């Protein structure tokens, strides 16, 4: 099992979600985050223009069995990419074990 953590543009979230469903990844968590990166956004407030590096993103946390790893990664890259600076990052981490709280069962079957 692996954990995928992805930081994507908020505007790409629906596309990424739909693409993940297409490849069979139907359960994941997501939340709004703010981060600092290479992309700079210009803002105008009361006629004063300034730039900031704090950017709003969506963070996805996905646990998948090994056979879903590559399809999930490709889905995120294809649907989340715009070709511009600031498309985000994707990280893959090992998962030692998973347990279903309701039944106490463990292993990759708990993800189904």
The structural domains of the chain, with segments of one domain joined by +, span 2-111
**What is d(CA 78, CA 88) in angstroms, rounded to the nearest whole number?**
12
Report, as an integer, the average pLDDT of 2-19: 97
Tokens of 67: 């056979």
Question: What is the value of pTM for the model shown?
Answer: 0.83
DSSP calls for 22-85: HTT----EEEEEEEEEEEEEEEEETTEEEEEEEEEEEEEEEEE-HHHHHHHHHHHHHHH--SST
Please report the pLDDT score of residue 40 as a whole number: 61
Residue 39 pLDDT more than 80? no
Q: Which CATH number fits domain 2-111: 1.10.357.10, 3.30.390.30, 1.10.10.10, 3.30.70.120?
A: 3.30.70.120
If you ran DSSP here, which 8-state letter would residue 5 be given? Answer: E
- Residue 85: pLDDT band with limits 50, 70, 90: confident
């Amino acid at each position: 099992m692996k954990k995928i953590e992805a930081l994507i543009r908020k505007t790409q979230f629906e596309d990424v979600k739909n693409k993940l469903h297409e490849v069979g990844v139907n359960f994941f968590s997501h939340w709004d985050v703010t981060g600092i990166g290479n992309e700079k956004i210009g803002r105008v407030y009361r006629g004063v223009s300034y730039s900031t590096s704090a950017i709003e993103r969506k963070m996805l946390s996905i646990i998948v069995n090994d056979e879903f790893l590559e399809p999930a990664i490709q889905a995120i890259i294809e649907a989340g990419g715009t070709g511009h600076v600031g498309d985000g990052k994707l990280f893959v981490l090992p998962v030692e074990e998973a347990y279903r709280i309701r039944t106490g069962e463990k292993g990759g079957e708990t993800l189904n």
